[in-house]
Structure 1
Amino acid sequence: MPRLSSFPAFHRVEGRKVLIVGSGPAAAAKTRLLGETSARIVVVSGTPGAELLADVERLDASLLVEAFNPGHLEGAALAFAATEDEAEDRRIAAAARTAGVPVNVVDRPELCDFITPAIVNRAPLAVAIGTEGAAPVLARHVRAKIEALLAPDLGRLAGLAEGLRGTVARLLPAGEARRRFWARMFDGPVAARALSGDIAGARSAAMRMMAEEPDASGFVWLVGAGPGATDLLTLRAQRVLQEADVIVYDALVPEEVVAMGRRDAERISVGKRKGRHEVPQAEISAILVREGKAGRRVVRLKSGDPLIFGRAGEEMAALADAGVPYEVVPGVTAAFAAAASARAPLTLRGIASSLVFATGHDADGRTLPDWAGLALQGATVAVYMGRSVAAAVADRLIEAGLSAETPVAAVENAAQADERVFFGDLSELSMLAARPDVDGPVLILIGRALAQARPAAADALSPKARRTTEAA
């Protein structure tokens, strides 16, 4: 996961002096920005421009028409160097550091102690968007999108919450009861009333909610994390990740997806991979039951979709037997992600009217798998976890009568940054397991519909074929 070079934080400035040094548009812009706070704004300008004068007057800021000197920094919580003269801004920044005052230098991120973000103001709610000085215009574009998402009166709801904090602290025990109360308040009738302007009605509804018996029941969500790309996670999955007290996740679930949960949620890795099962399935089910019966909200994160080779059936049975309520949140399964990456139809009118999800493990013996008959009848087959048994899959199907020229696609790390797409025919599939350059999870697609694939980029299944293509 990428790491930030700056730690985002909110600096308290209410009633405190904030110094702005400059005369032109940059100083005026910083004055307007600080005008959205309750800071005591002091502007130092030798020759203030008309724009700056108008903003100072409108915002009731203090203006000192004189050249900057280090004494201006006395008592300042923050300082802004906005003279638009590099040498002068450097001098101001050096003086600020000597005085121990954090300084921001306009358009000079390398000289800044802090970066001013683009701000969405729904006071007391604020959303800050920053790029660590790398792309401020991008931050403004993101701000515009967030402005459109958030109701203009959302601050009313935040203000109501602020007024209720003391009452909540007296009436509800610390911890889970309070967290669940706030979650209900911000996503229910209380929020609806506050946003409509009925603050008194919202407060009354919140007080009634506090008087109710606290909801201490546990719940488990079996969540499909998709094939790996965070933007393929469903909106419901994102929501329940924010509600979870505990996140139980598999090794194939990317760290970026796990990180979308609450920061204070407990994380339990059950690290299942082919051939290396760190936690037995029975123990995973026991963890879900234990945490659910303890009254905790649990997200069980599985790669792809939990109902397709995700052993969700065993976990659902364990939860049902223990009386723990649960819900399944579907995800994008690897077969769909692989087909999308290969730009290959899984069904095609007149050619393939059925689709089979299969695991390659049952093709490891001499017995023809049950799904092979459907492949012979024209179905497209998606073989999960099939790289190590690719040769066996190909041999069984060819022996059963499927043409050796049947199109095949293999997708490694589908929908992830290091994804690779391979194309060939059934006779070349056996070469996949022997390729040392393929070591990630692979999904294999087999069927005549794949002849219609139009991948943006692909390798040949056979390294020999690839060399021939490159030479050509």
Structure 2
Amino acid sequence: MRYFPIFVDTQNQHCLVVGAGEVAARKIELLLKTEAQITVVAPEVTPTVKTYAEQGKISLLERRFRDTDIQDQTLIFVATNNSQLNQHIHEIASKAGLMVNVVDNPPLCRFITPAIVDRSPIVIALSSAGVAPVLLRYLRQKLETLIPQRISQLGRLFEQFRDKVKQHFNDLDSRRAFWEEVMEGDIAEQALNGNHEEAVKAIESKLANSSAQQPLAGTVYLIGAGPGDPELLTFKALRIMQKADVVVYDRLVSSDILEMVRRDAEKVYVGKAKSKHTLPQDDINHLLVERAKAGQRVVRLKGGDPFVFGRGGEEIETLIEHEINFQVIPGITAATGAASYSGIPLTHRAHAQSVVFATGHLKDDTIDLDWPALVQKNQTLVFYMGLTGLHIICEQLIQHGLAPSTPIALVQSATTHEQQILTGTLENIVERAKQSTIAPPTLIIVGSVVSLHESFAPYNQLNRNKLIQP
């Protein structure tokens, strides 16, 4: 992130605009929405800028720029058609440590002005670092239609009661919970409908009836983060993630998804890799209980789905034992994600009428599965966490009746931009895997449906395969 997004307090601050053409006029119009004291210097002035000066909105100096003009300025906008002058102002302002923006010339900008959705005191700023202004306008238009016009009134209501709520509740979690209840209830609706007085009375009543000492009831949310692509998150998952006080996440949760968690939420990593547990499962279970009993909203963020080899059932048993409230928000499991993004349908009328999910996780160097039940005609097999035991899986499937020529696919990092796929047969995939760079997390798909990959993948818009050639 080259440009750090900040909002500058313009109260009692001085801003200089060099230039008074139509481009400068647009910057002045934007600055007039702030509380800054605006000075414009230019030898030639357009009628729009002159009108601002006549109305007393700006101080206008109808002359050429002088180096001393930058003194005591907080922000400097340069909007002239003189490239040498633009370069000169940039150099002296930068040397003085001042924030300078040469309009439409990013290399000469120490800051850039974003696209703005203005619902003061609620202001949303959007930036593309100057590289995609058309995309920026598109996003702004979308936001303008999504955000209620009266959101500003809700913002003013929050501002009016901010200090009262802060005095009433001693801790941050209680204050946050109070405001979120206001946001999700009738009080916010009253404000958004323009009924400010009714909203004020309702929030005063709610505050009077809220005990500052009342303990908060903690809740644990078991959320399926999906197989990796952040666009596969559910709306509900994203909404709960934005409310979390603490997020307990594992190794399979992608960094892109973790970015969607509320910024000031505490993040606790409990990832598990082969033979390496940051925290044993029992400790994770009791961590959830401990944080919930402390009144926190705990998000247990898991790759895939919590109830498909995610140990969600074990964690819920502990929560029930300790009488902790919980919710389960399902996610797209790795099997369906890998199948969709690699062009391998798990079922197909001509190939497979059933699909079975199994774990390939080794325990005492064995995989204790009902192999005869797995080896059925017209059935697709999906093995989670099976790369280490791949040789055992292939040997057992062949031994119990599957043809050595049965197609098999290994899909690594499914649905992400790191997704890779290695195909083969039960008799050659182990050797092919040894000669490749395939590594966990990898899903194994076995069955004739794998043969459809080569014909389906080129036309699949979700296809992210990097085919591995050992």
* TM surpasses 0.5: yes
- Hey, what's the Cα distance between the residues in 2 that align with 1:46 and 1:371? 87
Q: Residues 92 and 461 (structure 1 numbering): CA distance in 2 closer, same or farther, change over 3 Å? A: closer
Q: Give the Å deviation of 1:50.
A: 4.2
The answer to whether 1:310 aligns with 2:307 is: no
Q: Structure 1 pair 123/57, CA: closer, same or farther in 2 (3 Å)?
A: farther
* SS of match in other structure, 2:45: coil
SS of the aligned residue for 1:401 comes to coil
Aligned with 2:361: secondary structure?
A: helix
**Contact 1:157–1:191 (8 Å) recurs in 2:** yes
Q: Does 1:178 align with 2:180?
A: no
From 10, 14, 18, the counterpart of 2:15: 18
Q: Sort the Cα spacing of 1:155 and 1:437 in 2 relative to 1 into closer, same or farther, 3 A.
A: same
SS at match of 2:187: helix
Structure 2 residue 355 is the aligned partner of structure 1 residue 381: no
Give the Cα–Cα distance (whole angstroms) in 2 for the partners of residues 193 and 375 of structure 1: 62
Q: Is the counterpart of residue 68 in structure 1 residue 65 in structure 2? A: yes
Distance 1:308 1:359 in 2: 10
Please report how far the alpha carbon of residue 394 of structure 1 lies from its aligned counterpart in structure 2 after TM superposition. Answer: 1.7
Instruction: Write out aligned runs for 1:290-439 (5 A).
Output: 290-361=290-361, 369-370=369-370, 372-439=372-439
Q: For residues 460 and 132 of structure 1, what CA distance do their matches in structure 2 show?
A: 34
SS in 2 for 1:299: strand
Alpha-carbon distance between aligned partners in 2 of 1:132 and 1:158, rounded to the nearest angstrom: 28
For residues 60 and 291 of structure 1, do their structure 2 counterparts lie closer, same or farther at Cα, with a shift above 3 Å needed? same
Aligned twin of 2:143: 146
Paired AA for residue 181 in structure 1: F
Report the secondary structure of 1:90's partner residue.
Answer: helix
For residues 55 and 391 of structure 2, the distance between their equivalents in structure 1, rounded to whole angstroms, comes to: 77
Aligned-partner Cα distance in 1 for 2:79–2:355: 64
**Aligned length, in residue pairs:** 460
Alignment CA distance shift 1:94-1:430 (3 Å): closer
Aligned to 2:210: 212
CA distance in 2, matches of 1:259, 1:371: 41
User: AA paired with 1:233?
Assistant: L
1:29 Cα deviation from its structure 2 partner: 1.9
User: Helix, strand or coil for the counterpart of 1:186?
Assistant: helix
Mark the CA change 1:327 to 1:49 in structure 2 (over 3 Å): closer, same or farther: same
User: More deviation in 433-442 or 172-181?
Assistant: 433-442
Task: Quote the offset at 1:146 in angstroms.
Answer: 1.9
Aligned-residue offset at 1:240: 1.6
Distance apart, 1:450 and its partner CA: 3.0
Asked if 1:223 is matched to 2:223, the reply is yes
**Structure 2: 5+ residue runs without aligned partners?**
none
Query: In the aligned structure 2, how far is the partner of 1:264 from the partner of 1:422?
Result: 40
Match of 2:188 among 187, 191, 206: 191
State the distance in 2 between where 1:170 and 1:14 align.
Answer: 26
Q: Distance in 2 between matches of 1:195 and 1:35?
A: 26
What residue identity is the alignment partner of 2:426?
A: L
1:363 Cα shift?
10
Could you say what secondary structure the match of 1:32 adopts? helix
Cα distance change on mapping 1:54 and 1:321 into 2, 3 Å:
same
The corresponding residue for 1:108 is 105
1:165 and 2:167 matched: no
In structure 2, the residue corresponding to 1:243 is in which secondary structure? Answer: coil
Structure 1 gaps of 5+ residues are 464-472
Distance apart, 1:34 and its partner CA: 1.4
C-alpha deviation, 1:452, in angstroms: 2.9
Q: CA deviation at 1:177?
A: 0.9
The whole-number CA distance in structure 2 between the counterparts of 1:369 and 1:33 is 68
Q: Which moved more, 1:15-24 or 1:368-377?
A: 368-377
> Does structure 1 retain, via aligned residues, the 8 Å contact 2:362–2:389?
no
2:87 matched to which residue of 1? 90
Native 8 Å contact 1:78 1:103 kept in 2: yes
> Which shifted more, 246-255 or 279-288?
246-255
Where does residue 243 of structure 1 map in the other structure? 243
1:157 partner letter: L
* Shift in CA distance, 406/104, structure 1 to aligned 2, threshold 3 Å: same
Q: Write the deviation string for residues 307-357 of structure 1: whole angstroms up to 9, x where unpaired.
A: 111111110000000011111111121111110121121112253222211
Structure 1 CA distance for aligned equivalents of residues 362 and 254 of structure 2: 28
> Per the alignment, do residues 367 and 357 of structure 1 end up closer, same or farther by CA in structure 2, a change over 3 Å counting?
closer
Distance in 2, Cα, partners of 1:262 & 1:108: 34
What amino acid is aligned across from residue 400 of structure 1 in structure 2? H
Question: 1:36 aligns to what?
Answer: 33
Preserved contact between residue 43 and residue 62 of structure 2 (Cα < 8 Å): yes
TM-score, normalization by structure 2:
0.91
The 2-side partners of 1:130 and 1:461 are apart by 38
Distance 1:382 1:404, change over 3 A: same
Distance 2:53 2:305 in 1: 57
Residue identity over aligned pairs, in percent, reads 38
Give the aligned residue type for 2:155. Answer: A
Aligned in 2, Cα 1:404/1:55: closer, same or farther, shift over 3 Å?
farther
Counterpart of 1:391, as a letter, is H
- Residues in 2 aligned to 1:247 and 1:366: alpha-carbon distance in whole angstroms: 34
2:244 and 2:76 map into 1 onto residues whose CA distance is 41
